Amino acid sequence: MARHPRITFIGAGSTVFMKNIVGDVLQRPSLSNAMIALMDINPQRLEESAIVVNKLIATLGVKAKAETYSDQKKALAGADFVVVAFQIGGYEPCTVTDFEVPKKYGLRQTIADTLGVGGIMRGLRTVPHLWKICEDMLAVCPEAIMLQYVNPMAINTWAISEKYPEIKQVGLCHSVQGTAMELAHDLDIPYEEIRYRSAGINHMAFYLRFEHRQPDGSYRNLYPDLVRAYREGRAPKPGWNPRCPNKVRYEMLTRLGYFVTESSEHFAEYTPYFIKDGRPDLIEKFGIPLDEYPKRCIEQIERWKGQAEAYRSADRIEVEQSKEYASSIMNSVWTGEPSVIYGNVRNNGCITSLPNNCAAEVPCLVDASGIQPTYIGELPPQLTALIRTNINVQELTVQALMTENREHIYHAAMMDPHTAAELDLDQIWSLVDELLAAHGDWLPAWARGSAKVRAA
């Protein structure tokens, strides 16, 4: 009898995200009889997720089954695929701390989940939990593939590959395909007619090619059209969030010659150019949404209350295909039918101008042999230089975690482009002290407390 795939969700209480992935999975014939193991530490959210999955199974009329677990190791036992989606410390208290403490020092942020002092703190909170999953996977499902959807993506992926190199893992984000869709919309071109190739690191990858297929089968470079549309005020078009016009990335396109894959609100805080003390004109000109992430968190929490009730009372839950890569990866590994995704993996020479051990985001071939990154070569030098400024922060955060050397937390903050543009060294040290103290037990024991006395 054919074996059914076993798909484990760690952090299954992220119900909306989990619903999208499970909906995608169950619509694929090769996966429609999967055993879906849901694990979360919040019993109420776990129960809500189980209700949603069982209604999806009923709506689609498939033979999949769902089980719930509060024990991580039991949920992982025998898994073929492990989907990880959680936020350690949640909106309250940890995200609030990541925003409010820096604000006292005049350091303002937009999203603070990937880089900067917010991203560093989130990495310190998150990586130990990911390592624990790796440990359990090696014990009960050593051949499983981890599909990791947690931020800070690059720090997480790098830290897993350093400590548990034998774990098969990929960090997944929808920014590459999502931004390509936005740009196609800005140019009024059907997304299906676009061809692109992107590479870099998570949230700072660039489209090395962005082209439109012509009637004769040839391809036309769309970069001149994007620049012209920006200069003439036709792009960016309004997006899903009126607080977040996409101007930062278009401006950077005119300076670098390439378009970056993650949103303008993110990119504004990965660089030192846009959020500056005493420069409200820049905030105004580029429409930079300060404190955007906390606003989204509050809106999501509010929205979920009504959504949870609707799911609970609904007879059917209709499902559309999402733009996430998870089901595509599972289908390719399970059936051998090849696909191409953009994944975050250990660089290993894929991008020759970036460090071998960093987490690179590159096109990957997926088939029965697993996830196979493709060779890119050297990036344009201006892109390499900008990406390295972010890699410096990631590398020092991973070093802090690997060596349990608290000094490297300060070094990581000191190297962050936005933090360094706003604060002096004493302020940075004091801010990190205060953040570590405020996070307390959310951090690993070695990271808590105050800094060592610095040599005079």
Supply the CATH number for residue 148's domain.
3.90.1820.10
Structure tokens at 11: 């952090």
In a domain, 454, yes or no: no
Q: What is the pLDDT of residue 273?
A: 98
Structure tokens at 207: 């489209």
The type of residue at 229 is: A
Q: What is the pLDDT of residue 311?
A: 87
In a domain, 117, yes or no: yes
Q: Domain residues for 135?
A: 6-174
Structure tokens at 350: 């894929």
- The response to whether 356 counts as a known ligand-binding position is no
Pair (355, 335) in one structural domain:
yes
Whether 76 contacts 137, CB under 8 Å: yes
Quote the CA–CA distance of 171 and 178 in Å, as a whole number. Answer: 16
- The response to whether 347 counts as a known ligand-binding position is no
Q: What is the pLDDT of residue 456?
A: 38
Pair (246, 353) in one structural domain:
yes
Q: From 174, 208, 233, give the residue that closes a domain.
A: 174
Pair (392, 376) in one structural domain:
yes
Pair (330, 277) in one structural domain:
yes
User: Looking at the DSSP assignment, which residues form a beta bridge with residue 194?
Assistant: 212
In a domain, 456, yes or no: no
What residues contact 334, with CB distance under 8 A and at least 6 apart? Answer: 5, 30, 31, 80
Pair (73, 180) in one structural domain:
no
CA angle 55, 59, 60 (to 5 degrees): 120
Read off the DSSP letter of residue 128. H
Quote the CA–CA distance of 102 and 328 in Å, as a whole number. Answer: 40
User: Looking at the DSSP assignment, which residues form a beta bridge with residue 67?
Assistant: 37
In a domain, 11, yes or no: yes
Pair (335, 418) in one structural domain:
yes
In a domain, 452, yes or no: no
Pair (188, 46) in one structural domain:
no
Q: What is the pLDDT of residue 455?
A: 42
**Ranges assigned E (strand) in 44-100:** 65-69, 81-84
Cα 195 → chain centroid: 23
Whether 439 contacts 89, CB under 8 Å: yes
Pair (282, 154) in one structural domain:
no
Q: How far is CA 426 from CA 108, 414, 423, in A?
A: 17, 10, 8
Quote the CA–CA distance of 288 and 142 in Å, as a whole number. Answer: 44
In a domain, 302, yes or no: yes
Quote the CA–CA distance of 108 and 280 in Å, as a whole number. Answer: 12
Give pLDDT < 70 ranges for the chain: 1-2, 449-456
Pair (413, 346) in one structural domain:
yes
pLDDT tens, 191-218?
A: 999 999 999 999 999 999 999 999 999 9
What residues contact 256, with CB distance under 8 A and at least 6 apart? Answer: 206, 380, 382, 383, 386
**Given the residues 174, 185, 266, 408, the one annotated as active site:** 174
Pair (260, 404) in one structural domain:
yes
In a domain, 449, yes or no: no
- The response to whether 297 counts as a known ligand-binding position is no
Q: From 174, 205, 227, give the residue that closes a domain.
A: 174
Q: From 139, 155, 174, give the residue that closes a domain.
A: 174
pLDDT tens, 377-401?
A: 999 999 999 999 999 999 999 999 9
Strands 168-171 and 194-201: unpaired
Pair (124, 209) in one structural domain:
no
Its pTM stands at 0.96
In a domain, 453, yes or no: no
Quote the CA–CA distance of 212 and 199 in Å, as a whole number. Answer: 19
Pair (152, 238) in one structural domain:
no
Q: What is the pLDDT of residue 2?
A: 64
Quote the CA–CA distance of 172 and 170 in Å, as a whole number. Answer: 6
Q: How far is CA 275 from CA 114, 267, 347, in A?
A: 16, 11, 30
| Greatest pairwise CA separation for the chain in angstroms | 71
Structure tokens at 253: 């396109």
Cα 317 → chain centroid: 27
Q: Which residue in 303, 289, 306 sits closest to 239, CA to CA? A: 289
Q: How far is CA 443 from CA 88, 169, 274, 439, in A?
A: 10, 24, 30, 6
With the C-alpha atoms ordered 190, 191, 193, 197, is the resulting torsion angle positive or negative? Answer: positive
Q: What is the pLDDT of residue 450?
A: 55
Quote the CA–CA distance of 223 and 211 in Å, as a whole number. Answer: 8
Alpha-helical regions (H) of 187-317? 223-231, 247-256, 264-267, 280-286, 292-313
Clarify whether 418 is annotated catalytic: no
What residues contact 237, with CB distance under 8 A and at least 6 apart? Answer: 185, 186
End-to-end CA distance of the chain: 71
Number of domains in the chain: 2
Structure tokens at 453: 């006395």
